[in-house]
Amino acid sequence: MSGRLEGRRALVTGAGSGIGKAIAERLSRDGARVFTVDLQGEVDRQADVTEDGINAALIAKAVEALGGLDIVVPCAGITGFMPLEGHEDDFMRRVFEVNVFAVLRLIRDALPHLKESPAGRIVTIGSTTSRFGDEGLTAYGASKHAVLGMTRSIAAEVGKFGITANCLQPGAIDTPMTAPAFTDMPEFKEFWINKAALGRLGQPEDIADVVAFLCSDDARFMSGQGFFVDGGAMQRH
């Protein structure tokens, strides 16, 4: 444990598995006290982040448990393939409800507590899909582009309080969420392995390590940025 986040208090959603779980574990190893949320799994609070009023309730529970809040990482998200022809409005709404609106609400409701922190940190999770697009990912790509734009605007607004806000944009990461696609479409998995300069899929820990850095004092002058963590895939696009 490095201890560089000693005494910090963090809230991580989507922490039951995959990237969110790895982030929560890494922040904890670096000394932070972490309140975890997910729809299922071994977390401090099981909740659907799209429910009315739930994000304010989660903030209240986290603050009660931790005594305050310094770090917010809204990592809960969904994906899904749907061709443009016949694309359903309800599908788009569901993706945006989880990937965009729930993120906004969590950050909004956490802001009063982050303003009280000497080192407030917001780290959102975008995607390389917002940069290059892909077949069948209209809703997902649009939602992650919204997260990036939202994060940059938030950074401009909260900087005066000493709060930083940055967006991590993962490439192809081997998680429970992506596993079905890689299993059903092995050519999709092979494409991403070949596309990455490092020649492999990313692991959740690859993302978690960068998030921990952005939450630390080492990243105190970095804000409003989108960071590709993709094994060098974007340089080849």
Strands 9-13 and 33-38: parallel
Residue 93 falls in which region: left (phi positive, over 0), alpha (psi -120 to 50) or beta: alpha
Q: Token pair of 231, please?
A: 């094994």
Q: Which of 35, 140, 182, 192 is catalytic?
A: 140
Q: Which residue has the higher pLDDT, 85 or 43?
A: 43
In the predicted model, what is the mean pLDDT of residues 80-86? Answer: 81
User: What percent of the chain has pLDDT above 70?
Assistant: 99
pTM of the model: 0.94
pLDDT for 134 beyond 70: yes
Using one digit for the tens of pLDDT, what is the confidence trace for 8-60? 999 999 999 999 999 999 999 999 999 999 999 999 999 999 999 999 999 99
Reported confidence tier of residue 165, pLDDT bands at 50, 70, 90: very high
In angstroms, rounded to a whole number, what is the distance separating the alpha carbons of residues 50 and 232? 33
Reported confidence tier of residue 84, pLDDT bands at 50, 70, 90: confident
Q: Which residue do the tokens 């448990």 mark?
A: 65
In angstroms, rounded to a whole number, what is the distance separating the alpha carbons of residues 217 and 210? 13
Using one digit for the tens of pLDDT, what is the confidence trace for 194-227? 888 899 988 999 999 999 999 999 999 999 999 9
Our answer to whether residue 140 is catalytic in this structure is yes
Q: Which residue has the higher pLDDT, 185 or 146?
A: 146
> In the chain, count of helices (H) and strands (E)?
9, 7
CATH C-level class of 9-236: alpha beta
Identify which of 52, 58, 49 has the alpha carbon closest to the alpha carbon of residue 77. 49
Q: How far is CA 3 from CA 36, 68, 126, 211, in A?
A: 19, 19, 27, 15
